[in-house]
Amino acid sequence: MSLDLVLRGGMVALPWGLERTDVGVSDGRIVSIGTVTEPAAREVDCRHLHVLPGLIDTQVHFREPGLEHKEDLATGTAGAALGGVTAIFEMPNTNPNTDTAERLADKVRRGREKAHVDFAFFVGATTGNADTLGRLERLPGCAGVKIFMGSSTGTLLVAEDDAIEAVLRNGHRRVAVHCEDEKRLIERRSLAAVGEPKTHPVWRDDVTAIRATERLLALAHRTGRPVHVLHVTTEEEAARLATEKRVATMEVTPQHLLLSGPECYERLGTRAQMNPPIREKRHTDALWRAVRAGVVDVIGSDHAPHTNEEKDRVYPASPSGLPGVQTTVPLMLDAVHRGLMPLMRLVDLLAHGPQRIYGLSRKGRIATGWDADFTLVDLAAERTIEASWIASRCGWTPFDGTRVTGWPVRTIVRGQDAMIDGALQKIAAEPVRFYGTRDEEAA
Ligand code: DOR
């Protein structure tokens, strides 16, 4: 078989560990792992690089349709490609919400037209669409169902146990959940002090998150439905979820690992404001322990862009959310450099973990037959993250000025270069395939 592409001589992150070898690609798939002697149409010298499976961001908000002044699928996925991310799963709180088959199909169409990396979309659960979700979750390009148990950006909300149970009883795939207890959010609203973003984690306190996660776990047991707790923020939830692996997986975000209060609120003001909030060091330390103990399944950025003008509003009129899709890989490579976790743990959190918990049928592993998605990284590169590098329409990052060691230098999606040395390339993007979705319609 003639090869389209060979990645030559890199340190390759195979599912069973790091090995210096060649990887051969044909027709968008990995066809050989091991020394390649024949020439290929394209060769990439990887001798000074690590070849990672394409890294996947399983939680982003790209705002299209309806909120394109913050972001759209082109700018959001440009940030992904520049940041070494080969596929993204996008959240349903757009305008309109992604809560019907037509709206999902519309996003898939838009993704094919303009995305710079492969994509999948969550459908939003509402109090009115539970009985349709078992069908929706099997549609091409669907990452699964998302529940907001507490109000955040947008109008999606399923707050009551019986409504959540109805959602969990319809369908089979893992359901991704934003765990904040709506009743407690309403009761404590007055604790958000005008002009004081540091009161954000006082209003939306640790009990608000823990209570919702406990309720969700009880409902997951009652219904037998697997759930995924998004952006876990507390020591207590991390400890509890370690005992619940049969029913629940968990995500942490780079910002909850790398920022903590009160310092981040003093330095960044509303640019540290997100839901659930960034909390004090006790929680940050516990999240790192959970990463190192293997309890955390995935890192997702929760990329949630809002414009500078919106963020300049006086708290709490300022919207919650931080951009992150472009900075996750550099920040986590730097964490590897600082000895906070080994490189293979990063690969587990951003490729093997997404593959395992969401049932990706072709992505997330470097193995023969799988999609030729790669993130090529230079572990020795020293760079500074700057707002001017950010492709997101929001144009800012809470990590502006952060010096890192380790940088993604090439992003490859099914054999196509999406980014080379910081330069964006145009590719033909496709919906991600999952076990249990009707992939043939996505082909
Ligand atoms: O801070 C947040 N922003 N948390 C969410 O749950 C939603 C997100 C957004 O879409 O802005």
Q: Whose CA is nearest to atom 2 of ligand 1?
A: 321
Distance 109 CA to ligand 1 centre (A): 24
Of 108, 354, 347, whose CA–CA distance to 249 is shortest? 354
SS3 269: helix
Does any ligand 1 atom lie closer than 6 A to the CB of residue 275? yes
Question: In this predicted structure, what is the pLDDT of residue 60?
Answer: 98
pTM: 0.98
Q: Is the pLDDT of residue 390 over 80?
A: yes
Candidate of 275, 279, 301 to mutate for ligand 1, largest count of ligand atoms within 8 Å of Cβ: 275
Q: Is the pLDDT of residue 440 over 70?
A: no
Distance 12 CA to ligand 1 centre (A): 35
pLDDT tens-digit map of 293-303: 999 999 999 99
Q: Which two tokens stand for residue 281?
A: 């060091």
The dihedral built from the CA positions of residue 380, 385, 388 and 393, taken in this order, carries a sign that is positive
User: Confidence class of residue 439 from pLDDT cuts 50, 70 and 90?
Assistant: low
Of 204, 222, 343, 186, whose CA–CA distance to 265 is shortest? 204
Pick the atom of ligand 1 nearest to 154's CA.
10
pLDDT tens-digit map of 330-359: 999 999 999 999 999 999 999 999 999 999
pLDDT tens-digit map of 358-370: 999 999 999 999 9
Q: Over pLDDT 70: what percentage of the chain?
A: 99
Distance 152 CA to ligand 1 centre (A): 6
Q: Which of 72, 118, 205, 302 is catalytic?
A: 302
Does any ligand 1 atom lie closer than 6 A to the CB of residue 152? yes
pLDDT tens-digit map of 82-134: 999 999 999 999 999 999 999 999 999 999 999 999 999 999 999 999 999 99
Q: Over pLDDT 90: what percentage of the chain?
A: 97
User: Confidence class of residue 443 from pLDDT cuts 50, 70 and 90?
Assistant: very low
pLDDT tens-digit map of 230-247: 999 999 999 999 999 999
Please state, rounded to an integer, the average pLDDT across all residues of the chain.
97
Question: In this predicted structure, what is the pLDDT of residue 341?
Answer: 98
Q: Is the pLDDT of residue 441 over 70?
A: no
Q: Is the pLDDT of residue 442 over 60?
A: no
229 bridge partner residues: 177, 250
CA atoms within 13 A on the CB side of 350: 34
439 assigned to active site? no
Contact 409, 421 (CB under 8 A): yes
User: Confidence class of residue 438 from pLDDT cuts 50, 70 and 90?
Assistant: confident
Mean pLDDT of 261-289: 98
Distance 379 CA to ligand 1 centre (A): 31
Cα dihedral 202/204/207/210 (nearest 10): -140
Q: Is the pLDDT of residue 410 over 50?
A: yes
Residue 208 carries which side chain, given as an amino acid letter? T
